[in-house]
Amino acid sequence: MSLNDWLESFHIIFVVTWFAGLFYLPRLFVYAAENPTGSRIELLLVMQRRLLGITHIGGALAVGLGLGLLAIEPWHLSGGGWMHAKLTLVAGLIGYHFWCARMVRTFRLGENRRSSRWYRWFNEAPAVLLIAIVVLVVGKPF
């Protein structure tokens, strides 16, 4: 396997790790919004904090390896608009990630004002981004 193959393999592995965290962390927000007091909230806060840490690692490695791939194969930036669109969506995903980190802090401080229903909708964003990113990478439509 070439260096490029290794980078791409681990990029995909850490993208999966990152998305796993971004799919489950908002689910923990749903449960925390539904159980704002008692012993259950304490467990949910610990789970949020730990999952966020793993999500940070997966996201950082996915982005870092993706940038490494672009450094090795910079022609992707001039080969069509699909890569620019993908990178724009990844920037949105990074923003979503930081928004999740802010929400973990909000729950830790006991300042949540959103409903579990709002978090259920919020939980759909990474799925939409994942679909769009995969379609762009596989199909390279433009």
Residues found in the chain:
142
Cα–Cα distance, 21 to 42 (Å, whole number): 19
How many CB atoms sit inside 10 A of residue 112's CB? 18
Q: Which of 121, 128, 138 is nearest to 29 (CA)?
A: 121
Does residue 78 carry a pLDDT above 90? no
**Tokens 């791409």, residue located:** 8
Give backbone dihedrals phi and psi of 2, rounded to 5 degrees, phi first.
-80, 170
Structure tokens, 76: 């992707």
Percent of the chain at pLDDT exceeding 90: 93
Q: What is the rounded average pLDDT for all residues in the chain? A: 96
Cα–Cα distance, 105 to 52 (Å, whole number): 11
pLDDT value of position 27: 98
- In one-letter notation, the amino acid at residue 62 is A
User: Can you give the residue ranges of every domain in the chain?
Assistant: 3-139
pTM summary value: 0.94
Does residue 129 carry a pLDDT above 90? yes
Does residue 43 carry a pLDDT above 90? yes
